[in-house]
Amino acid sequence: MDDLTMGPNAGPNADELAALAESMADVLAAESDRRKVHGFIDGKNQLEAQLWERAKELGWFAVGLPESAGGMGLGVRGLAVLHRELGRQAAPGAFISTLSAAQALAEFSDAAKVVSRLAEGQVAVCVPATPTEPGKGLTLSGGKVSGSASELLGTPSAGLALVAVQDGSNTAWALIEVDGKSAKLSERKLWDLTRHFCTLECTGVTPALLVKGADAAKLGRTLATHMGLAVCFDSIGAADSILNQTMDYMKGRTQFDKIIASFQALKHRVARLKVELELARHASSQALQAVETGTPDCQAIVALSKVTVSEAFAAIAGDCVQLHGGVGHTWEFDCHIFLKRSRLNEALVGQNDKELDWMAERMAEATRAGRSVLELPL
Partner 1 sequence: MSAAASVSSGAQPVSKVTDSSILDKQHDLPAFRAAIRKWLEKNCPSAEEVEDMEAAAGIDYPKFEKYQRAWVAKLSTVGLSIPHWPVEYGGAGLSLKHLIIIADEMAKAGAPQLHMYVISFNHIPATLLAWGTEEQKHKYLPGVGDGTPWCQGFSEPGAGSDLASLRCKAERVGNEYIVNGQKIWSSQSKHAEYCILLTRTDPNVRKHAGITYLIMNMKAPGVEVRPIKQSTGRAEFSELFLTNVRIPVEDRVGEENKGWAATLTTLASERGILAFEDAERFRYKMEKFYQQALAEDAPWLKDAQRRREFMRMVSRIQAVRGLIRELLEHNQTDPDAPTIAPSVIKVAETSLEQGFYEWQTRIKGRKALYAEPEAERGEVPGDPMGSYVDSFGRTIAGGTNEIQLNIISERGLGMPRG
Q: What is the H or E stretch that residue 144 is in?
A: strand 144-154
325 scored as a contact of partner 1 (CB under 8 A): no
248 Cβ contact partners less than 8 Å away, ≥ 6 residues apart: none
Residue 349 per-residue DSSP state: S
Residue among 218 and 253 whose Cβ is closer to partner 1: 253
Tell me the per-residue interface mask from 275 to 314 with partner 1, x by CB under 8 A, - otherwise.
x--xxx-xx-xx-----------------xx-xx------
7 scored as a contact of partner 1 (CB under 8 A): yes
Q: What is the H or E stretch that residue 115 is in?
A: helix 112-119
- Burial class of residue 186, CB neighbours in 10 A (0-12, 13-18, 19+): exposed
Span of 48-56, 217-225, 227-235, 351-359 interacting with partner 1 by CB under 8 A: 351-359
Cα separation, 349 vs 342, in Å, equals 13
Tell me the per-residue interface mask from 198 to 237 with partner 1, x by CB under 8 A, - otherwise.
----------------------------------------
The size of the chain, in residues, is 378
Q: Check if the beta carbon of residue 362 is closer than 8 Å to that of residue 300.
A: yes
For residue 249, give the amino acid letter: Y
Min CB(247)–partner 1 separation in Å: 6
268 scored as a contact of partner 1 (CB under 8 A): yes
Three-state SS at 330:
coil
In this chain, which of 208, 315, 356, 371 binds partner 1, going by CB under 8 A?
356
* Euclidean distance between the first and the last CA atom of the chain, given in angstroms as a whole number: 20
Residue among 164 and 283 whose Cβ is closer to partner 1: 283
360 scored as a contact of partner 1 (CB under 8 A): yes
Span of 77-85, 152-160, 164-172, 266-274 interacting with partner 1 by CB under 8 A: 266-274
Rg (CA), the chain: 21
Q: Which residues bind partner 1 (CB under 8 A)?
A: 3, 7-8, 247, 250-251, 258-259, 261-264, 267-268, 270-272, 274-275, 278-280, 282-283, 285-286, 304-305, 307-308, 353, 356-357, 359-360, 363-364, 367-368, 372-374, 376, 378
